[in-house]
Amino acid sequence: MTRIIGILVGLFFTVAVLWAFATGAYTVISEGQLKPETAEHEFHKHPKHLALASDGAFGKFDKQQLQRGFQVYKEVCSACHSLRLVAFRDLAALGYNEAEIKAIAAGFQVPGVDPNTGEATTRAGMATDYFPKPYPNDIAARAANNNAVPPDLSLMTKARHDGAAYVYSLLTGYQKQPAELIKKFPDSKTGAGLHYNPYFANLNLAMAPPLTGTDQVTYGDGTKATVDQMAKDVSAFLTWTAEPKLDKRKQTGWPVLGFLLFATVLAYLAKQQVWAGKKGKKA
């Protein structure tokens, strides 16, 4: 009797699971068929391929490229975007010496307090300061950017799928809105103050193309500052800001894996040695 009850209970749960699976599958299929086509679904593109020196298990940051990327950030991106999690002294990891870091910091105005009056003011940055926000508050940021607040870039390559490739694609992806899109989705026409970019989720950005031409930045190492090159360099730099300890993590990871492999082999040999005399004996 107990066995029959057990079988019946098992059959009940099996049927319940199959019913739930069938119901879920039907819902997914029916919703997919009824879901209307959208401009974002049809014209949104996945990021382009981007190869950086830091990619892969053995990759390392290219400090020269990181310095070029920082130059693009400083001369172009810092006008709208902050790096609130990065201090000026952190730039030492890019190869800048102490004097260069102090000079870079002094070129930024950071919030301060007047020692005589106690009132809020600004002062020249120091090596221990963090990169300041370009706007005093979100209201000022919206007023200057078509009612959009430019995001902080410190962790941007971690916050977006495909990371650096997304940033690179976005910076090089501005283009004229396709006639096919307007014809098929008339309501999706890019509005005033917006810019069409198929690599952005809703296809329209409040940010105008930040990289415009070869005269925008002059690299000290002689590299030609094309839009494509600047986009690659600043993407590499933002990869570093999001994970500045990447090189050390990889350098530490391989010895740890080697130790774990050695310990595993050692444990297996010890097990063989301990149980060697027990083989062939019955329990």
41 assigned binding-site residue: no
Q: What is the token pair recorded at 65?
A: 């490229």
Measured from the Cβ of residue 121, the count of other Cβ atoms closer than 10 Å reads: 12
156 assigned binding-site residue: no
CA distances from 24 to 20, 29, 30, 57 (A): 6, 9, 10, 40
Q: What is the token pair recorded at 202?
A: 């809703």
* HSE, side-chain direction, 13 A CA sphere, residue 267: 6
Measured from the Cβ of residue 154, the count of other Cβ atoms closer than 10 Å reads: 19
Lookup result for tokens 């899109």: 181
Asked if residue 91 lies in contact with residue 72, where contact means CB atoms within 8 angstroms, the answer is no
Q: How many residues does the chain have?
A: 283
CA distances from 283 to 268, 272, 274, 279, 280 (A): 22, 18, 16, 10, 10
- Numbered residues of the known binding site for heme c: 77, 80-81, 207
- Numbered residues of the known binding site: 77, 80-81, 207
